[in-house]
Amino acid sequence: MDLPGPIHDFLLVFLGLGLILGGIGVVLLNNPIYSAFSLGLVLVSISLLYILSNSYFVAAAQLLIYVGAINVLIIFAVMFMNGSEYYKDFNLWTVGNGFTLLICTSIFGLLITTITDISWYGIIWTTRLNQIIEHDLISNSQQIGIHLSTDFFLPFEFISIILLAALIGAITVARQ
């Protein structure tokens, strides 16, 4: 969306806050139901961030797949759990938790160092040039289609075969 500067910044900060608070909520909330719903908040704010950066197709796909399908299924699964016993004896510091903390902090540090190392201006200018070359007449979703059927044809076919196999497997499991 081409918004004026201050509104754009405000929305960016707002959505980023939603993202971070939702992420913290997923980890820290005691009731797994609340965690699942705050995961939904995280996914919705990611898709709104995509809308803010003009990529509507990715935003709609994110909403449809992650929020509409995956998050609803997660909520379904969590609701069938007997939640009350799960968080009564909740111990924050076990060996597994320490191990997870180590991995997460190392991934975080790695990401921070890579983000600061990359020269973002170079990337911005190459993408701008590519956009000019791929002339603006073709819409965003059409560009995605063209790329999927030329450059990324093999991965696309592989993914569709995997999905087909999963579909058939689900049908056989459901019929038993």
Partner 1 sequence: MIIDTPEVQDINSFSRFEFLKETYGIIWTLIPIFTPVLGITIGVLVIVWLEREISAGIQQRIGPEYAGPLGVLQALADGSKLLFKENIFPARGETLLFSIGPSIAVISILVSYSVVPFSSHLVLVDLNIGVFLWIAISSIAPIGLLMSGYGSNNKYSFLGGLRAAAQSISYEIPLTLCVLSISLLSNSSSTVDIVEAQSKYGFWGWNLWRQPIGFIIFLISSLAECERLPFDLPEAEEELVAGYQTEYSGIKFGLFYVASYLNLLVSSLFVTVLYLGGWNISIPYIFVFDFFEINKTYGVFEPTISMFITLAKTYLFLFIPITTRWTLPRLRMDQLLNLGWKFLLPISLGNLLLTTSSQLFSL
The count of residues interacting with partner 1 (CB under 8 A) is: 22
Q: Can residue 37 be called a binding residue for partner 1 (CB under 8 A)?
A: yes
One character per residue 117-146, x = contact with partner 1 (rule: CB under 8 A):
----------------------xxx-----
Asked whether the beta carbons of 43 and 67 are under 8 A apart, the reply is yes
**Which amino acid is present at 67?**
V
**Which amino acid is present at 145?**
G
**Which amino acid is present at 3?**
L
Instruction: Count other Cβ atoms within 10 Å, centred on residue 159.
Output: 12
According to CB under 8 A, which residues from 16 to 35 bind partner 1? 33
One character per residue 65-104, x = contact with partner 1 (rule: CB under 8 A):
--xxx-xx--xx--x-------------------------
Alpha-carbon distance of 70 to 50, in angstroms, equals: 18
- Least Cα distance to 46 among 26, 67, 29, 27 occurs for 67
Complex with partner 1: residue 22 or 40, whichever CB lies closer: 40
The CA-atom distances, in angstroms, between 119 and each of 50, 94, 129 are 22, 40, 16
Q: Can residue 63 be called a binding residue for partner 1 (CB under 8 A)?
A: yes
Sites of contact with partner 1 (CB under 8 A) = 33, 37, 40, 44, 56-57, 59-61, 63-64, 67-69, 71-72, 75-76, 79, 139-141
